[in-house]
Amino acid sequence: MSTHFLLNMKNISKEYDGNQVLKNVNLQVKPGEIHALIGENGAGKSTLMNILFGMPVIHSTGGFEGTVEINGEQVFIDSPQKAIDYGIGMVHQEFMLIPGFTVTENIKIGREISKPSLLSHLFGKGMETLDFEQMARDARKALSDIGLNIEEYIQVAGLPVGYMQFIEIAREIDKTGIKLLVFDEPTAVLTESEAERLLEIMKVIASKGIAIIFITHRLSEVKNYADSITILRDGEVVTHKDIKDISIIEIAELMIGRKVEKLVDLAEDTRTLSDSDIALSLKNFHVDMPGERVRGVDLDIRKGEIFGIGGLAGQGKLGIPNGIMGLYKAEGTVEIFGKKLDLSKLGSALANGIAFVSEDRRGVGLLLDESIELNIVFSAMQIKDEFLYHLGPVKLLNQKQVRQHALKMIDLLDIRCTGPTQKVGSLSGGNQQKVCLARALTMNPEILIVSEPTRGIDIGAKKLVLEYLAKLNREQGMTIIIVSSELVELRSLCDRIAIVSGGKVSAIVKPDAPDAEIGLAMAAG
């Protein structure tokens, strides 16, 4: 084949607030090929696609470096409309369909075909009547192109999820002059047979000369359906190959990458962990957390252990701590030091000595409008009746005690603030995280669960938070469970790491397990 590329993105670099998310990335896609774009969460896939689509988020943050060529011609895409004009389409992961409209209307929305009417002569183009027949014909054609056998006049509401995905695709290929379609994790929400069908349709579309960029986490799909592959890691292209030249294991290995950096210096390990001394035990644990469903997890976490839970986004790793804390509906058995937890009762985990630092810092973790001191003592006050004056049935805030404790915590965790009365909403991410941690520690927990402890905080604060967790574990023997998307931090801290995929634990690995093993466990299911 010649070196004719439909899309050629060259030396793309992008930084957000001094944070380099893409470094000299090249992406070349030939017409009619299915090109897989693979990478961990945060590897830069979304940013690259946002650049391709000229999303406002790119241009409002200073644009990007590098060039984009379409059919060998350099283009400058600064708005999604321009991207559409150049024939680039996107099939979204969440369906952007209007439930009350028919299939035709959804396919044709924004590009309706109209014909003049009496009113339009008087009031202009906005009053033209719609040419439903022509629109229905177009919709019919688009649907049959992708082999979907449904009537174009039925309403979208009530259709199976799989069909909605196909209607999205039909809408994209109905656009005249479509040359490139981006599929962003199209199979994530589909059943197995639906997914297979979708992949077949992708092949059909590709055979018509339309190029496809295929973003997915399922490596078997990549191996079976893609023609070539680009793997991103930490904002850089690690490889670009034809699919026949690479194995699944190689893909997994390259995706994870050997990260040698040591994030924390651990103190000497004097702990003795025993398989019979179990701090937290999960049996057949299910959590109904939207986007992070847990479908039957069995885990035994030993007392005094630092246990990591990793996995890709949307696979259910976040559902585990949220389910234990009772924030989402959970089923199954949770035992804390052999004592069964009443999952239907809110706060029962807290009352039994588990403290939780949420991944959703601003939503769940903090009262942004309140002071640092109130945030720190809130849970202990509510659950354990601390920091209160007890006047018969009346329990009033003991301001003096609160202040003392807050000052101690600010000092201990090095929270940078103007004082204990500063509102947490005005703190930086790292300091907010320290406040969350302080709140959890104020509970004096036996088991501490931290979810995404370093998300959105700078490297210095990251190190401090992780080292403090290690210190708690080594010096106080606290059992710590870390849920994180950052494999490197799990590896540098944990004794064991459970990899969650498809709502189940696909493997429990040692922190020094080979990349391929972890990569495959992540992509399983």
User: Which of 68, 97, 388, 481 is close enough to bind other proteins by CB under 8 A?
Assistant: 388
382 interacts with other proteins by CB under 8 A: yes
For residues 448 and 353, what is the distance between their CA atoms, to the nearest angstrom? 8
Q: Interface residues for other proteins in 443-472 (CB under 8 A)?
A: none
User: Does the protein bind other proteins through residue 209 (CB under 8 A)?
Assistant: no
Residue 54 interacts with other proteins (CB under 8 A): yes or no: no
C-alpha distances out from residue 147 to 65, 271, 349, Å: 40, 61, 51
- Residue 263 sits at the vertex; the CA angle it makes with 257 and 265, to the nearest 5 degrees, is 135
CB 280 within 8 A of CB 481: yes
Amino acid code (one letter) for 420: P
Of positions 329, 395, 400, 510, contacts other proteins by CB under 8 A:
395
**Shortest approach of other proteins to residue 258 CB, angstroms?**
37
In this complex, which beta carbon is closest to other proteins, that of residue 129 or of residue 444?
444
Residue 420 CB, shortest distance to other proteins, in Å, is: 16
- Closer Cβ to other proteins, 102 or 348, answer by number: 348
Q: Which is nearer to other proteins, 113 or 367 (CB)?
A: 367
Q: Quote the least distance from Cβ 142 to other proteins, whole Å.
A: 38
Q: Exposed (0-12), middle (13-18) or buried (19+): which is 513, by Cβ within 10 Å?
A: middle
Residues in the chain, how many?
Answer: 525
Single residue of 17, 265, 275, 369 touching other proteins by CB under 8 A: 369
Which member of 103, 366, 448, 522 binds other proteins (CB under 8 A)? 366
Q: Which is nearer to other proteins, 347 or 460 (CB)?
A: 347
455 token code pair: 């998300």
Three-class DSSP labels, 168-214: HHHHHHHCCCCCEEEEECCCCCCCHHHHHHHHHHHHHHHHCCCEEEE
Q: Which of 157, 204, 267, 397 binds other proteins (CB under 8 A)?
A: 397
Token reading at 193: 């047979």
Q: How far apart are CA 147 and CA 174, in angstroms?
A: 14
Angle at 430 between CA 427 and CA 435, to 5 degrees: 70
HEC string of 108-153 equals HCCCCCEECCHHHHHHCHHHCEECHHHHHHHHHHHHHHCCCCCCCC
By CB under 8 A, what part of segment 323-362 binds other proteins?
Answer: 325-327, 346-351, 356, 358, 360
How far apart, in Å, are the Cα atoms of 95 and each of 45, 91, 163, 187? 19, 8, 10, 12
Question: Can you tell me which of 84, 381, 406, 465 binds other proteins, judged by CB under 8 A?
Answer: 381
The CA distance from 335 to 7, in Å, is 54
Q: Applying CB under 8 A, does 122 fall inside the site for other proteins?
A: no
Q: Select 306 or 388, whichever has its Cβ closest to other proteins.
A: 388
Residue 131 found at the interface with other proteins (CB under 8 A): no
Query: Which range, of 4-12, 268-276, 322-330, 484-492, touches other proteins by CB under 8 A?
Result: 322-330
What Å distances lie between residue 125 and 107, 108, 284, CA to CA?
A: 21, 17, 61
State the amino acid at position 450 in one-letter form.
V
Number of residues that bind other proteins (CB under 8 A): 32
In the complex, minimum distance from the CB of residue 324 to other proteins, in angstroms, rounded to a whole number: 12
Q: Which of the ranges 236-244, 363-371, 414-422, 472-480 carries the binding residues for other proteins, by CB under 8 A? A: 363-371
- Rg of the chain (C-alpha set): 27
Q: What are phi and psi of 46, to 5 degrees?
A: -65, -40
Nearer to other proteins, 260 or 396 (CB): 396
Nearer to other proteins, 382 or 426 (CB): 382
Q: Assess 368 for contact with other proteins (CB under 8 A).
A: yes
Q: Is 383 in the site for other proteins (CB under 8 A)?
A: yes
Q: Cβ of residue 415: shortest distance to other proteins, in angstroms?
A: 18
Among 85, 245, 298, 385, binds other proteins (CB under 8 A): 385
Q: How far is the CB of 105 from other proteins (least distance, A)?
A: 28
Q: How far is the CB of 143 from other proteins (least distance, A)?
A: 37
Nearest CA-CA partner of 333 in 278, 383, 408, 404: 278
| Residue placing its CB nearer to other proteins in the complex, 148 or 440 | 440
- Alpha carbon distance 489, 280 (integer Å): 22
Of 222 and 354, the one with the shorter C-beta distance to other proteins is 354
Residue 441 β-bridge partners: none
Smallest gap from Cβ 441 to other proteins, in A, equals: 14
Give the footprint of other proteins on this chain (CB under 8 A).
Answer: 325-327, 346-351, 356, 358, 360, 363-370, 374, 378-379, 381-383, 385, 388, 394-397
